[in-house]
Amino acid sequence: MSRRCQTVVRRDVIDGNVVVSEFSKAPARLRSSGFARSSLAIVGLAGIVACLGLLGAGYRGNVGAALGRAWGFAAGLSLAALLAYLGVPWAYCRWNQWRLRRWVVQQKRVVLTLDDGPGRQLTRAVLELLAARGVKAVFFLLGRNVRENQDLVRHIHAQGHEIGSHTYDHLHAWKVAPWRSLADIRRGFRAIDDALGTRAGRYPFRPPYGKLNLMTLLYLLVKRIPIVYWTIDSGDTSRRGLGDNRRAAQLSRAAGGGVVLAHDFDRQAREYNQYVLDSLRATLDTARECGLQPCTFSQLRTPGKGGRR
Ligand SMILES: [Zn+2]
């Protein structure tokens, strides 16, 4: 999910049914524990060191000058570390999206992607729609939802759709310690492996909120795990409420293709589910009118034998 996708989901059991709820902010427990050991602590640390460096640089004496240089060096080092930790993944995200836009336009493609599922109701409805249109999509599954809906995960896979991972607990890689975000990624892969009865250990990956830190980015790159952002947001998690369900279709037409982001977890407000279905339907209608061919991410990435690697 993107910077604009500020949704956090939580599972509750109501009347024996698992209900996935949507939150515009993280639950208090997640916020407090996350920030306490957050990577954002680096920001504070760098700020403190930078201030001390400035103070140190103000001394005139020999000892003071030496201290000033030392603090200045420490401040510069901290800022460089911060830039690398957050800035490099940010730059990678922009490059990844630029590359996706180039691919879809060159190949005249539309890739439908569904995040945060599977949801018991909406995912099934989406599968019916896709089957009726003969279209394959990419499902970036949330590990904790996978654990609850293993049959549904196997059904998605059996239908020929592409399975991707969206971590296990949807942790924000900038708001938790790097080792926690890394563990969340690996746990998400394991959940899918368990559901499918495989030991693949890697699937196309979409970072929650679109955020990676340097550690998670390096892990994914070293493991050669495809990182899949998006180029068009359907707007189904907009904090300003639902807008035009033809938004994704119009943007796909204007751009000449796109990787469309939508969400298939069940929500308490049913109009969101209908919005997603209408949005996907409109996007597929428009794709047909414009000659854009729906495909999965793997088909986009390797468009034929000897295709792009
Ligand atoms: Zn998400």
Q: What is the DSSP string of 67-91?
A: HHHHHHHHHHHHHHHHIIIIIHHHH
Is the pLDDT assigned to residue 243 strictly greater than 90?
no
pLDDT over threshold 90, residue 85: yes
Q: What is the mean pLDDT of residues 257-274?
A: 92
| Cβ–Cβ under 8 Å, residues 74 and 191 | no
Q: Which residues of 66-104 are buried (b: 16+ CB within 10 A; e: fewer)?
A: ebbeebbebbeebbeebeebbeebbebbeebbeebbebb
The Cα 273–Cα 255 span in angstroms is: 25
Crossing angle (nearest 10°) for helices 150-158 and 178-196: 70
Q: How far is Cα 111 from Cα 294, in angstroms, rounded to an integer?
A: 6
Predicted TM-score (pTM) of the model is 0.80
In 3-state terms, what secondary structure has residue 298?
A: helix
Tell me the CA–centroid distance for residue 61 and ligand 1, in Å: 55
Predicted local distance difference test score (pLDDT) of residue 10? 52
- Least confident piece of the model among 75-84, 106-115, 172-181: 75-84
Sorted by sequence, the CB contacts under 8 Å of residue 204 that are 6+ apart come out as: 138, 140, 162, 164, 165, 225, 226, 227, 228, 297, 298
DSSP state of 210: G
Residues 6+ apart with CB under 8 A from 78: 42, 45, 46, 49, 50
- In whole angstroms, what is the distance from residue 67 CA to residue 59 CA? 8
Alpha helices per DSSP H over the chain: 28-36, 41-57, 62-82, 88-107, 122-133, 143-148, 150-158, 178-196, 214-222, 247-255, 270-290, 297-301
Average confidence (pLDDT) over 102-131:
97
- Check residues 261 and 269 and name the one with the higher pLDDT: 261
Structure tokens, 271 = 């109009």
More confident of the two residues 167 and 76: 167
Instruction: Encode pLDDT of 190-225 as tens digits.
Output: 999 999 999 999 999 999 999 999 999 999 999 999
Provide the β-strand partners of residue 270. none
Better pLDDT: 269 or 21: 269
Å from CA of 171 to ligand 1 middle = 9
Distance 10 CA to ligand 1 centre (A): 12
Q: Compute the distance from residue 169 Cα to the ligand 1 centre, in Å.
A: 10
pLDDT of residue 50: 62
Q: Looking at the domain 8-34+84-301, which fold is it? A: TIM Barrel (3.20.20)
Average pLDDT in the 51-78 region?
72
How far, in Å, from the CA of 264 to the mean position of ligand 1?
10
CA of 290 to the centre of ligand 1 (A): 29
User: Do the Cβ atoms of 65 and 53 come closer than 8 Å?
Assistant: no
pLDDT band at 23 (very low <50, low <70, confident <90, very high): very low
Region 96-122 average pLDDT: 97
Residue 222 CA to ligand 1 centre (angstroms): 23
pLDDT in tens, 271-282: 899 999 999 999
Please give the distance, rounded to the nearest whole angstrom, from the Cα atom of residue 106 to the centre of ligand 1.
28
Look at 40-54, 189-203, 237-251 and tell me which has the smallest mean pLDDT: 40-54
Give the SS3 label for residue 193: helix
If residue 10 lies in a helix (H) or strand (E), which one and from where to where?
strand 8-14
What's the CA gap between 102 and 94, in Å, rounded?
12
Between CA 82 and CA 89, with CA 84 as vertex, the angle to 5 degrees is 115
**pLDDT value at position 258?**
98
Distance 23 CA to ligand 1 centre (A): 11
Mean pLDDT is lowest, of 6-15, 72-81, 296-305, for 6-15
Q: Which residue has the higher pLDDT, 14 or 240?
A: 240
The count of other CB atoms within 10 Å of the CB of residue 255 is 15
Q: What is the dihedral of CA 82, 86, 88, 94, to 10 degrees?
A: -150
Tokens of 294: 């729906």
Q: Which of 271, 166, 280 is nearest to 234 (CA)?
A: 280
Token couple for 183? 């563990």
Is the pLDDT reported for residue 270 higher than 70? yes
| Mean model confidence pLDDT for the chain | 85
Residue pointed to by tokens 């746990």? 187
| Ligand 1 centre distance from Cα of residue 256 (Å) | 25
Q: Which residues have CB less than 5 Å away from ligand 1 (the ion)?
A: 1, 115-116, 208
Collapsed DSSP state (helix, strand, coil) of residue 200: coil
Per the model's pLDDT, the better-predicted residue between 97 and 35 turns out to be 97
Q: How far is the CA of 165 from the centre of ligand 1 (A)?
A: 10
